[in-house]
Structure 1
């Protein structure tokens, strides 16, 4: 295994070349838990000297349209956590760090170098010079601190319960709960020097800064309110939907968002590789059949996700299908505020009643693996000894009979009109699980909720959801991104009360990389398997489809796919 600092400083570029076959993404085999004390990186070359910029000159003013399975839930990445929102904001906004496409390590973005100070309680960053936001505002240290202080100061009316906020998941609290927050301050040390200060060491802090939630917005736009204004034309659903006008430093400037589409334009003044795409459109197609039809008739140049039902059709018709390495977990959420689910025997019965192999084989892309834990096997902390509760219908009935359950109705929420990278066929997965739970003796009431009409909010807020289908797509290579995000603090999704587990997770996330930290996360995985606050079902493989216009695409297991890196065939324009 390479030294962590060596891995961290590598900054290669990678895209997936065009082939008429099913491909795998850049593997996460090289991804390790990275913790660097210091790193000096040579800044990226000037845009005009890059191969991508040279190629771009041969294909000018290209329009590229990409199909998605749902509208974004909002365009302020600090307040959302869904894939489609991040897909948009990654094009417009950038953070201090990005993800190396080969190693998965933090790599330079708006920061060119960084140094760990005070035994991990502070990090000093040198910022990229001569960068401007899309509105002409200069990017500098003050802009960085304006953003961090904004996130820290979010009021309850803005953040809701904070469950969708990555700031809350990484730092554990906001300013109005400063005693529990791990964020200390942001210090301007010069025009292009800034220091972030923590109250406790976070081993995965640099990795966390690669999250799209920590992208830097223009202070001018924030002050004017253009990044916080609810636009009633964005969606027919006015609840929990923010139509924002993000203003960042990224390769694309935001043009407009409306139901069914988002449009962006290439940033002519971008500091990095400008790429070949002048106009970028994201178009929403809720049904798999409409996505395929749009690809076939040329309305779109690619789409995400591919579902198992249409995978064979795409391959047989000669379309490009690119497959990401698995870095997400699909699970059944159990809400312990519902009295029946506060009984561990009931939760164990639910786990025993679910035939994970049938679900994976029938409703996921081949290669998807069943799982008994939440940490993916390519991350340190995965525990080979955790077997979980195996499928055993008779045991499920026995456990239920010995429990306090008396036939109470259990509302089972599931999303409709959307396919997620971690859940391509939600209605079918729901039907399979509901059938198995009913056979075990549970009284299941279906509650279908359209994804675009507040599904995530419905199942992550206080309410009557007993069971719900959800998933988590990993965003950086640290086990805390999985178990910390889901179980590291009390939340209304699970309503679990386990201070010991929270304490273990808090301790593990601050431990130095090494055998002790690995053992700590393995113990956490074992405890989750024993107490069953949720039932992990699969580590899904996701795939995208592309037309022949695409020569290569920046496929990423963590979905860090920025479209200035898309290469088009020379015959297109």
Structure 2
């Protein structure tokens, strides 16, 4: 997910399966050893690929990032120990050729690729791996702010000061090609999380030289060090060249010393164009070669004009969030169920979402382990909604319904249209809706995170293929935007999620997640799952080789542009 905002396509139909932990040093070995990288040494073809980005990055150090537009750039520069198979959300080797773990799931041994160098010419090896982990773990001051170290905090927890427990314990490098990572407990999300851009490998030499950790808080924002602004240094197929902030242009160049197949183009340029209509115009004029998240209403016209419109496999969820902090009525399960019966999700999907979207019955796609086919369903039933409101003593319920402006999300292509449809459904069962609209980065997310909204529109694009990445992220603590701390079941739900994530036996873990999903829809209902939506990406007719990702995590090394 990026948290805030991602050729032929392979359907995402097979569930992720990780070998059961039971034999020492076995589990992930067969998966990793069989998944050989398709990257082989080769030359580039030349030319420039220019992509219209929807927003500007805060910096280029992926560890301090949580938004899709930053990751879109840094993904081309840095790589992780593991990556994701093209066209899927499943893990494959990247800088680590294979890995294995102990029966308790706490110690992971990674065998590293040889001959790999960072862009500054220094060696990628086990010592560099451990220095990267220690750098993340040793964050202090502003570096521990959730706005900066979001993905570390969400996935690993605390830091080396011990104030908060951490999943990470230590790293050792017995030889240059072997790195051993020790965890404090087993986790279903390991090693998948190592494919996230935030945990990619960066040059320890460059990070020290340009003071990568020297980020400073300044009011509600941060001042980034020289490393993040001008010297991001990874092992990827592209190298950072420059960022012209005034003109909104980021330039990368092909890494001629890349360990695998070299990028097809000499230069990769990102032009920052926040307005989707302007991005479309720039594509039509030939000023850019592609952009993301085209309006669903424009897809036919774009295709008719000869452009390549590729629709990704949906790996996301949009939900109607319910905050139980300010409106006492929303603490009543019957009221939350009434909201679920009130909304017409079938019509919403058909009228407001692109072709290929589907109604969601739970909080992640069916391709993720732990999906339960027998959860409680909430078909559109206005009469049932009115009955439940009457039984709860609030037949004339009033809610403050928040929706975001100045944004397009992969799961939410038309926030205003979606809000209008849902608000009308609620009004039809006698609910008074007070609309509150704010810019996405101009108060909306802050208000939602601070539990000011009664109802709100939000969602998630999966970062990797585990249940914890969805429902663990949403409800894994009681300090969340749904304010489950105010519910009698909030702490119990968080404990259930932690126990499931820590269960090393796959079959038992899947059963635990299925049980949680059933309770989420029948006993808890902290939000209402609405839909899964397939986001599109568009390029002009000269572009070839773009491999889409259900994670919206495209890598552009395979892209070529004809006629240059």
TM-score by length of 2: 0.86
Q: For 1:453 and 1:74, how far apart are their aligned partners in 2?
A: 19
Q: For 2:59 and 2:540, how far apart are their aligned partners in 1?
A: 28
Does the 8 Å CA contact 1:262/1:283 hold for their aligned counterparts?
yes
**1:563 lines up with 2:556 in the alignment:** yes
Alignment RMSD: 3.0
The aligned residue for residue 249 of structure 1 is 235
The aligned residue for residue 190 of structure 2 is 205
Q: For 2:63 and 2:132, how far apart are their aligned partners in 1?
A: 10
Shift of 1:240: 6.5
Does the 8 Å CA contact 2:28/2:100 hold for their aligned counterparts?
yes
Q: For 1:145 and 1:123, how far apart are their aligned partners in 2?
A: 13
Q: Unaligned regions of 5+ residues in structure 1, if any? A: 1-15, 18-24
**1:144 lines up with 2:144 in the alignment:** no
414-423 vs 277-286, greater mean Cα deviation: 277-286
Shift of 1:297: 0.7
Shift of 1:228: 5.2
The aligned residue for residue 268 of structure 2 is 280
What SS does the aligned partner of 1:476 have?
coil
**1:550 lines up with 2:543 in the alignment:** yes
Q: Unaligned regions of 5+ residues in structure 2, if any? A: 1-6, 20-26
- Corresponding pairs, count: 537
The aligned residue for residue 221 of structure 1 is 206
Partner of residue 474 from structure 2, selected from 462, 465, 486: 486
Shift of 1:438: 3.7
Shift of 1:539: 0.9
Q: For 2:120 and 2:396, how far apart are their aligned partners in 1?
A: 59
The aligned residue for residue 22 of structure 2 is none
**1:329 lines up with 2:317 in the alignment:** yes
The aligned residue for residue 29 of structure 1 is 13
Q: From the superposition, tell whether residues 332 and 526 of structure 1 become closer, same or farther in structure 2 (CA, over 3 Å).
A: same
**1:373 lines up with 2:362 in the alignment:** yes
**1:517 lines up with 2:504 in the alignment:** no
Does the 8 Å CA contact 2:341/2:379 hold for their aligned counterparts?
yes
The aligned residue for residue 452 of structure 2 is 464
276-285 vs 449-458, greater mean Cα deviation: 449-458
Q: From the superposition, tell whether residues 249 and 279 of structure 1 become closer, same or farther in structure 2 (CA, over 3 Å).
A: same
Shift of 1:178: 5.7
What SS does the aligned partner of 1:194 have?
strand
Shift of 1:407: 6.8
Q: For 1:99 and 1:469, how far apart are their aligned partners in 2?
A: 29
What SS does the aligned partner of 2:49 have?
strand
Shift of 1:350: 2.3
Does the 8 Å CA contact 2:353/2:533 hold for their aligned counterparts?
yes
Shift of 1:397: 3.1
The aligned residue for residue 494 of structure 2 is 502
The aligned residue for residue 432 of structure 1 is 421
Q: What are the superposed Cα offsets for residues 377-411 of structure 1, whole Å, 9 maximum, x if unpaired? A: 12221111124322222333333344365978644
Q: For 2:106 and 2:220, how far apart are their aligned partners in 1?
A: 41
433-442 vs 384-393, greater mean Cα deviation: 433-442
Q: For 2:59 and 2:146, how far apart are their aligned partners in 1?
A: 16
Partner of residue 67 from structure 2, selected from 82, 86, 93: 82
Q: From the superposition, tell whether residues 27 and 496 of structure 1 become closer, same or farther in structure 2 (CA, over 3 Å).
A: same
Q: From the superposition, tell whether residues 417 and 231 of structure 1 become closer, same or farther in structure 2 (CA, over 3 Å).
A: farther
Q: For 2:203 and 2:60, how far apart are their aligned partners in 1?
A: 14
Does the 8 Å CA contact 2:88/2:549 hold for their aligned counterparts?
no
Does the 8 Å CA contact 1:69/1:418 hold for their aligned counterparts?
no
What SS does the aligned partner of 2:104 have?
helix
Q: What are the superposed Cα offsets for residues 268-301 of structure 1, whole Å, 9 maximum, x if unpaired? A: 3222222122221223333332222111110111
The aligned residue for residue 8 of structure 1 is none
What SS does the aligned partner of 1:119 have?
coil
Q: From the superposition, tell whether residues 444 and 360 of structure 1 become closer, same or farther in structure 2 (CA, over 3 Å).
A: same
112-121 vs 156-165, greater mean Cα deviation: 156-165
What SS does the aligned partner of 2:62 have?
coil
Does the 8 Å CA contact 1:264/1:279 hold for their aligned counterparts?
yes
Shift of 1:457: 4.2
Shift of 1:478: 1.7
What SS does the aligned partner of 2:496 have?
helix
Shift of 1:226: 5.0
Q: For 1:144 and 1:215, how far apart are their aligned partners in 2?
A: 9
The aligned residue for residue 13 of structure 1 is none
What SS does the aligned partner of 1:537 have?
strand
Q: For 1:284 and 1:405, how far apart are their aligned partners in 2?
A: 48
